[in-house]
Amino acid sequence: MHPSRMIRAGLLAGLALVVCACGTTIEAADGTPIGSIAAPGQVAGGGTVLPDGTVLPEGATIGADGEIILGDGGTTTTTGGGSVPGTGTSSAPGATGTTGPVSPGAKGTGPIKVGFLTTSVSQAAQFGVSAGNTLSGEDIIKALAAGMNAEGGLSGRKIEPIIASTDTGSSSWEADFQAACSKFTEDNKVESVVGYDFVYLDSFETCLTKAGISHLTTGYDPGDSTGFQQYPYISSIYPTFDEKWRILIRAPYEDGTLTKESKIGLVVDECPAHVRAQQRELYPFIKEKDLTVAATMSVACPRGSGATASGVSAVSNAVLSFRSRGVDQVILDGVTLYFFAQTAESQGYRPGYITNGGAGLLDNNPLPEEQMKNIRSYGLDPSRDVSIKKQPPRTPIQERCIALVKKGGATLSAAADFAGAYSTCDGLFMLEAAMKRTNGTTDAAAITAAIQQLGTSFKSTEMIGSQTSFSSGDRSGATLFNVATYDTACKCFSYPGPAKRIP
């Protein structure tokens, strides 16, 4: 049986969102705020975006004949469906990945330094949870690199993993990630950074972009569409926050979970990328469909482990507020759900929950059953969304990942081990697929172009059915979502219906 994903770094990272009480506000049904929400300004800057959605690297210009002129003097011509930076071919939306290889220059040679982040969860014990892993992130990274090297590495180049550590329990995530970027850009000169990172930080993406390093992230929060324009070298397996909010508000409306009679409670944070996505996707749809938001809890954007006691108190106050205002559908992320539902049950309050995946995490950290019955988890990754009993069979790409780790000398056993391996594999496999199109080079613009050319050819270890879709202007690969609900017969979460395309 294929194991499901347990509570891991993503959950512990998100705890800070719940426990950071500063900036918490509750908004009444008539819109009158109790407190205030500081609206962040729009982030400026970034690469030029062509009409077809292609993002140009910094310094690139359009020549008189429509060719893209790269900052280093290289050029590429535009054709038909729009050009891709660093290529001589076009990639129209919906392409299947059959276009020719990117050819930016001579074939890369010698070992390739690849950056990876590991995530410690030093505050796990204080929350009474465990990551559940038997292997460390570093163990998995080194084993996977060794396994791939035994089969020739990346386009014939041996992988030299450069590993930087971060910690969800750190008082300053910015400091952790700045140190990581310095290790990647100054101490070791990595050619790409791949794999899981537990939080999206503009400072980290700025650092990598300035250094001309591609970032192939498998983190749950890769930022929003503005960030993808501002940082042209980031690509992601997971959807942008714009797409996540599109799923989280449109899909429940379309399947009848949300109606004009619903009294909605929103739990949101004030991270700039998240606020921008909410302003583009959440609030306009609520207004368009004339939905009722009875109460809102807003939490300051976490940038460190936060203040635990006051944060738990804030959640408790939100539950009281939501209940008193008759909220019957709460929209929130999977991390906040865990604490909100526990408090709600203690007060005999059982609203419906609309959350963005992760219900399968409750296998090992269960909520009261009466709360779990009311959860609808709109997710993209079966290993996070579905209980162990209902996991789909392993896919060929997952089997490849497991085999490579084993070849490198490590054995996956706990659910969190598999989850960590899949995240790492997706990042490395994306880089592998891109380098097959770049003649083995790792120029950031060329890697970005190659990712966009993958179309539907890239198979993910994490996404539903292994399916992804990249195209010109679309560097987030997720394409399908499904709704996990609680099955009282097996006392577990499953996907009772077919997957659907992201709206």
Please provide the DSSP assignment of 358-399 as one string: -GGGGGTSPPPHHHHTTEEEEES-HHHHS-GGGPPPPPHHHH
Distance CA 447, CA 428 (A): 13
Judged by DSSP in three states, 453 sits in helix
Task: Answer whether 9-36+242-389+482-501 and 112-238+394-478 agree in fold.
Answer: yes
* Structure-token pair, residue 407: 């070849």
Structure confidence at residue 168 (pLDDT):
84
| Share of residues in the chain with pLDDT > 90 (%) | 60
* Structure-token pair, residue 309: 């006691």
> Residue 364 pLDDT more than 60?
yes
The distance of Cα 479 from the centroid of its chain, to the nearest Å, equals 13
Distance CA 240, CA 282 (A): 14
Distance CA 266, CA 365 (A): 23
| Share of residues in the chain with pLDDT > 70 (%) | 74
Structure confidence at residue 320 (pLDDT):
92
Structure confidence at residue 102 (pLDDT):
57
Tokens 């203040």, located at residue: 307
- Average pLDDT score over residue span 192-212: 96
- Average pLDDT score over residue span 263-268: 95
Distance CA 270, CA 35 (A): 14
Q: Dihedral (C-alpha) 415, 416, 422, 425: value to the nearest 10 degrees?
A: -130
Structure confidence at residue 471 (pLDDT):
95
- Average pLDDT score over residue span 269-277: 93
Tokens 């909100």, located at residue: 340
> Residue 142 pLDDT more than 70?
yes
Q: What's the whole-number average pLDDT of the chain?
A: 80
Sequence-separated contacts (24+) of 344-352 with Cβ below 8 Å: 344/319, 344/371, 345/370, 345/371, 347/319, 347/320, 347/323, 349/319, 349/322, 349/323, 350/374, 351/265, 351/322, 351/323, 351/327, 352/257, 352/328, 352/376
493 or 333, higher pLDDT: 493
The distance of Cα 75 from the centroid of its chain, to the nearest Å, equals 32
Q: What is the pLDDT of residues 291-307, one digit of tens each?
A: 999 999 988 888 887 64
Q: What is the pLDDT of residues 274-290, one digit of tens each?
A: 999 999 999 999 999 99
Distance CA 48, CA 70 (A): 12
- The residues near 283 (Cβ < 8 Å, ≥ 6 apart) are none
Q: How many CB atoms lie within 10 A of CB 10?
A: 25
- Does the domain formed by 9-36+242-389+482-501 have CATH 1.10.3720.10? no
263 or 337, higher pLDDT: 263
Q: What is the pLDDT of residues 98-132, one digit of tens each?
A: 445 555 555 667 899 999 999 887 666 555 555 66
Question: Quick check: 37 and 25 in contact, CB under 8 A?
Answer: yes
Report pTM.
0.81
Give the H/E segment covering residue 236.
strand 234-236
Nearest to 274 by CA among 47, 14, 455: 14
At residue 343, φ and ψ (nearest 5 deg) are: -65, -40
Structure confidence at residue 110 (pLDDT):
87
Residue 338 burial (10 A CB sphere; 0-12, 13-18, 19+): buried
Sign of CA pseudo-dihedral 352, 354, 359, 361: negative
Residues in the chain: 503
Judged by DSSP in three states, 428 sits in helix
Structure confidence at residue 171 (pLDDT):
86
Res. 134 pLDDT band, cuts 50 70 90: confident
The amino acid at 410: A
Structure confidence at residue 477 (pLDDT):
96
Structure confidence at residue 339 (pLDDT):
84
Structure confidence at residue 13 (pLDDT):
44
The amino acid at 77: T
Question: Quick check: 121 and 8 in contact, CB under 8 A?
Answer: yes
> Residue 315 pLDDT more than 60?
yes
Nearest to 439 by CA among 74, 156, 146: 156
Structure confidence at residue 127 (pLDDT):
58
The 3-state secondary structure of 194-244 reads EECCCCCCHHHHHHHHHCCCEEEECCCCCCCHHHHHHCCCEEECCCCHHHH
- Average pLDDT score over residue span 461-471: 96
Structure confidence at residue 106 (pLDDT):
56
Structure confidence at residue 12 (pLDDT):
42
- Average pLDDT score over residue span 357-363: 79
Q: What totals of helices (H) and strands (E) does the chain contain, helices first? A: 15, 18
Distance CA 20, CA 14 (A): 10
Structure confidence at residue 67 (pLDDT):
37
- Average pLDDT score over residue span 185-212: 96
Structure confidence at residue 15 (pLDDT):
43
> Residue 42 pLDDT more than 90?
no
- The residues near 9 (Cβ < 8 Å, ≥ 6 apart) are 119, 120, 121, 131, 168, 196, 198
> Residue 416 pLDDT more than 60?
yes
Mark 15-53 as b/e (b = at least 16 C-beta within 10 Å): bbbbbbbebbbbbeeeeeeeeebeeeeeeeebbbebebb
The amino acid at 288: E
Q: How many CB atoms lie within 10 A of CB 255?
A: 13
> Residue 388 pLDDT more than 70?
yes
CATH of domain 112-238+394-478: 3.40.50.2300
> Residue 97 pLDDT more than 50?
no
Measured CA to CA in angstroms, residue 493 lies from 82, 133, 228, 374, 489 at distances of: 43, 21, 33, 11, 10
The ranges assigned to domains in the chain are 9-36+242-389+482-501, 112-238+394-478
Question: Quick check: 484 and 337 in contact, CB under 8 A?
Answer: no
- Average pLDDT score over residue span 344-358: 94
- Average pLDDT score over residue span 447-472: 96
Structure confidence at residue 389 (pLDDT):
84
The distance of Cα 283 from the centroid of its chain, to the nearest Å, equals 22
DSSP 8-state symbol, 503: -
Distance CA 326, CA 295 (A): 9
* Structure-token pair, residue 450: 């190659």
Res. 94 pLDDT band, cuts 50 70 90: very low
Q: What is the pLDDT of residues 59-80, one digit of tens each?
A: 444 444 333 343 444 433 333 3
Least reliable range by pLDDT among 75-84, 345-354, 370-379: 75-84
- Average pLDDT score over residue span 124-145: 79
Distance CA 472, CA 450 (A): 10
